[in-house]
Amino acid sequence: MNLEKLITMKVESKKAEVRKKEQDRLTLIESEAALLSPIIDSLNETLPKYGAVARMHKEPSHQPCPSIQIKSPDGTKWHSFHRQLSEISIVQDSGGVKYKAGAFNGKRDFESLPDLFDFVSDVIAHSIVHP
């Protein structure tokens, strides 16, 4: 067999694998982002009253991706409760969708959206009482 032809075939095969993996990754990001979108809408009904907004993050170089980033309205990270809540993400497994929320000092797991919103409200309430 011609070595050059074999190398060319393998290169094309590996390129196709890379394209497929990238497409699968982008499809997963979009499907998870679709699950997060209604949560962003719910958060943004209230968060601006407390100096924050929720934004979708879909840059794969920063994990978790996708996620909801909670920032001040001007786009900087800092708001009154940033140390406790700066990011919300989802985890999909055989048991369904679960949520993770927290900040750089740790993330907590939540089994349901009501549990997640209870955490968010607790963090905001704490930041108001203990500024």
pLDDT tens sequence across 9-54: 999 999 999 999 999 988 989 999 999 999 999 999 999 998 889 9
Residue 131 has pLDDT above 80, yes or no: no
pLDDT tens per residue, range 67-98 = 999 988 877 766 677 788 889 999 888 878 89
* Domain boundaries, position 104: 3-129
This prediction's pTM: 0.81
- Specify the number of domains making up the chain: 1
**Cα radius of gyration (the chain):** 20
Q: How far apart are the first and last CA of the chain?
A: 74
Query: What pLDDT, on the 0 to 100 scale, is given for residue 74?
Result: 78
The CB density around residue 128, as the number of other CB atoms within 10 Å, is 11
